Structure 1
Amino acid sequence: MPTTEKVARTDAGLASELRLSVMRLRRRLAAERHPDNDLSMNAMAVLGALLRQGDLTVGALAAHERVQPPSMTRVVNALAERGHVDRRADADDGRKVVVALTDLGRETVLADRRRRDEWLATALASLGPDERAVLRSAAPVLERLARLD
């Protein structure tokens, strides 16, 4: 098996190493979710999108999360049943449904973020200053990669 240093020297090797590392970090962050939170990661992503973007139509949420509108409708319906979001008709087009975060939804997503951010901040503190500087530089690049079509 090649070492990480040799594999990552090619673009394909870098892709493989990044994929594996990002997946492991995602699983670790998911494990740090608030223990009272039994919402799916998809549901949490919807709450996060509404927190960042404000009220959105079901179609806009589906596009943002890269899922089909019927799938998003199911997630939104489940969140509405639990009181995390409210739904209303779009003022310009009554056929469209606008989804808004409720106070409970906001509290849920913020508590979950706080817990995971605390874990990550503690983990980052265990790294050296040079390693943290590399991550600080890499964060915007990783964000750009995540948004590519």
Structure 2
Amino acid sequence: MTEPDDLLHATATDLRLATFRLARRLRRERAVDSISDAQFAVLACLRGNGRLPVGELAQRERVSAPTMSNIVDALAESGHVVRVPSDEDRRRVYIEITDTGTEIVAATVQKRDAALADALAEFDFTDDELRTLREAASLMRKVAER
């Protein structure tokens, strides 16, 4: 490998390890323990994108349609989402987040942000270091959203 390739792969390894460790730590922070990570991801997707059909939810979350149907069934049973028939095509059904689901997402995001802010505060980072972290977050978001 050439030096740029070595740097690229070393960076990828470092980012993977740091991202997984941080994600695992943040996933423990939840407003409700009865909701799985997959269920929370669906609620967050609906909160951010509005009502969606099951197939599109499955595509966005990169799971099969039957798996998404199971997730939606559990969320509907617990009152976190509702099924809304399409006005144009009665065969088409949209999944919409309820107020309860929205509250869970907001509370969980708040808990996770607070936990991460507390962790960052432990290190007494300088303003420059915090700006560097924000720039890194922006770059990571670009990679994640490709």
Normalising by structure 2, we get a TM-score of 0.89
Which runs of 5 or more structure 2 residues have no equivalent in the other structure? Answer: none
The equivalent position to 2:105 in structure 1, one of 106, 109, 114, is 109
What are the superposed Cα offsets for residues 59-98 of structure 1, whole Å, 9 maximum, x if unpaired?
Answer: 1111111111111111001000000000022222222220
Structure 1 match to 2:50: 54
Question: Could you tell me the percent identity over the aligned residues?
Answer: 42
**SS in structure 2 of the partner of residue 10 of structure 1:** helix
Structure 2 match to 1:133: 131
- Please report the RMSD computed on the Cα atoms of aligned residues, expressed in angstroms: 1.6
Structure 1 match to 2:116: 120
Structure 2 match to 1:147: 145
Distance 1:61 1:96 in 2: 14
**Aligned structure 1 segments of 4 or more residues deviating by more than 3 angstroms:** none
Distance 2:141 2:65 in 1: 24
Letter paired with 2:88: D
The equivalent position to 2:36 in structure 1, one of 8, 28, 40, is 40
The equivalent position to 2:90 in structure 1, one of 88, 94, 99, is 94
**SS in structure 1 of the partner of residue 94 of structure 2:** strand
Corresponding residue pairs, total: 140
Which runs of 5 or more structure 1 residues have no equivalent in the other structure? Answer: 1-7
